[in-house]
Amino acid sequence: MSESFDVVDLIRTKRDHGNLSTAEIDWLVDAYTRGYVGNEQMAAMAMAILLNGMERQEIRDLTLAMIASGERMSFDGLGKVTVDKHSTGGVGDKITLPLMPLVASFGVAVPQLSGRGLGHTGGTLDKLESIPGWRADLTNDEMFAQLRDVGGVICAAGSGLAPADKKLYALRDITGTVEAIPLIASSIMSKKIAEGTDSLVLDVKFGSGAFMVDIEKSRELARTMVDLGNDAGVSTTALLTDMNVPLGLAIGNANEVRESVEVLAGGGPADVVELTIALAKEMLRLAGQPDADVEKALTDGRAMDTWRRVIEAQGGDPDAALPVARETHVVTADRDGVLLTQEALPFGIAAWRLGAGRARAQDPVQHAAGIDLHAKPGDAVKAGQPLFTLSADEPQRFERALEAVEGAWSIGDAADWTPRGPLVAERIE
């Protein structure tokens, strides 16, 4: 078979700040999907895109080519409005876990096709696999049945859904190209558009623990994805949310599941509850229920009931004990004062080094590994008081985790404390 283009020419074009045509992008994605373009070549292209960017038309073409690489789903026969949510990833971001059952408890179908850890950010599927018996891989028939009977599902995207993105997603994680806006936007939106949901809410992070540290870059990413979604007929909005400080008190896998269950029981950390409610209201607004009382659904047990049914439907035991690490290391305050800083990225890297994330695409995660925070910025602390606990199955992991968080937190006087800005900074539609 004669190939239409030479991949090296395309790499050079993007390396030299040129633009790729629709035909070139279509060929590149197809050739990579069928294995003609190798991982090393696509890695070079991904790096060129990271460094030099893409024009809006290129991003749209890349998204459409990824969609065309596989099947497109439809929920038209479900008899329910469908709404999905996607987060660009953060440290301690377990929001999908309480959010999906909360929204589904209002009779809306929530097809939450989720991913695994990427870089220093945790993956929803990795977290849920802490639950004994729970399985991420469902057939389309199983997913449809669960949406019809239970109202919500969290599962892996099927192999037929944007397979080009599945290959590129894993490659980005191990080649330092996760942060490229065109690749993030096309990756997320190709799956969400192909999924066939009626509407979509994006949680786009900014700050230390986000892929986009600068809020302007996050805004650019949000607008790019909102445009892609609405152009494709998916009602799409985005919330820009602060990821300078870890979300909640748990960073890892099993411990984030525990914290999510606390939220569903009407408790949990204030920031996790706040963001869960904000996203639920936005999702239900797009689903035609702008006056839904989401706070009540968290406290009256409806959301918890849906959670239990979802976990059981996917083979999990919601009452089973979650994994606990064999080893722990506690870091304490060295003086009285106020916790002034707690940077998200170093804590995310530390959790990754403890085993909560993966260094290679094929690596397993350690579900019990992670960090439990005992104080948040603004909290008063006493000398000797625990600030955070590291957990791992192998004690030799503690040294490198502690190196990651060195200088990432500080204690000072109350007069030096500056309150954070709002957790939800902007809404984009």
So what's the pLDDT on residue 346? 97
The segment(s) of the chain belonging to CATH 3.40.1030.10 are 76-313
So what's the pLDDT on residue 345? 94
Please check whether the domain covering 76-313 is classified as CATH 3.40.50.150.
Answer: no
Task: Quick: pLDDT tens for 136-161.
Answer: 999 989 999 999 999 999 998 777 77
Distance CA 106, CA 102 (A): 7
The pLDDT-based confidence of 123 (bands split at 50, 70, 90) is confident
The pLDDT mean for the chain works out to 93
Closest CA to 310 of 87, 126, 73, 109: 109
41 pLDDT higher than 80: yes
So what's the pLDDT on residue 88? 87
DSSP 8-class letter at 210: S
So what's the pLDDT on residue 260? 98
The pLDDT-based confidence of 89 (bands split at 50, 70, 90) is confident
113 pLDDT higher than 90: no
Task: Quick: pLDDT tens for 235-286.
Answer: 999 999 999 999 999 999 999 999 999 999 999 999 999 999 999 999 999 9
So what's the pLDDT on residue 133? 96
So what's the pLDDT on residue 173? 76
Quote the percentage of the chain above a pLDDT of 70: 97
Closest CA to 15 of 57, 56, 43: 43
Token match 């408890």: residue? 105
So what's the pLDDT on residue 360? 66
Distance CA 112, CA 379 (A): 35
Between 123 and 428, name the one with better pLDDT: 428
Phi and psi of 116, rounded to 5°? -105, 175
The segment(s) of the chain belonging to CATH 3.90.1170.30 are 327-416
* Cβ burial, residue 356 (10 Å; 0-12/13-18/19+): buried
Distance CA 176, CA 301 (A): 43
Which range, of 164-178, 385-399, 413-427, averages the lowest pLDDT? 164-178
Please check whether the domain covering 7-53 is classified as CATH 2.130.10.10.
Answer: no
Token match 């026969």: residue? 77
The DSSP H or E segment spanning 389 is strand 386-392
Q: Any idea which fold 327-416 has?
A: Aldehyde Oxidoreductase; domain 3 (3.90.1170)
The segment(s) of the chain belonging to CATH 1.20.970.10 are 7-53
The residues that are catalytic are: 86, 165, 172, 187, 191
Task: Quick: pLDDT tens for 304-334.
Answer: 999 999 999 999 999 999 999 999 999 999 9
So what's the pLDDT on residue 120? 67
So what's the pLDDT on residue 324? 96
So what's the pLDDT on residue 161? 78
355 pLDDT higher than 80: yes
So what's the pLDDT on residue 140? 87
Distance CA 97, CA 189 (A): 21
Write the CA distances from 95 to 64, 208, 384, integer angstroms. Answer: 28, 18, 32
The pLDDT-based confidence of 363 (bands split at 50, 70, 90) is confident
DSSP string, 277-338: HHHHHHHHHHTT-TT--HHHHHHSSHHHHHHHHHHHHTT--TTSPPP--SEEEEEE-SSSEE
Find the mean pLDDT for residues 34-53: 96
The pLDDT-based confidence of 114 (bands split at 50, 70, 90) is confident
Task: Quick: pLDDT tens for 165-222.
Answer: 888 988 987 898 988 889 989 998 998 999 899 999 999 999 999 888 899 999 999 9
Between 170 and 83, name the one with better pLDDT: 83
SS (H, E, C) 151-208: CEEEEECCCCCCHHHHHHHHHHHCCCCCCCHHHHHHHHHHHHHHHCCCEEEEEEEECC
So what's the pLDDT on residue 364? 80
- Whole-model pTM: value is 0.90
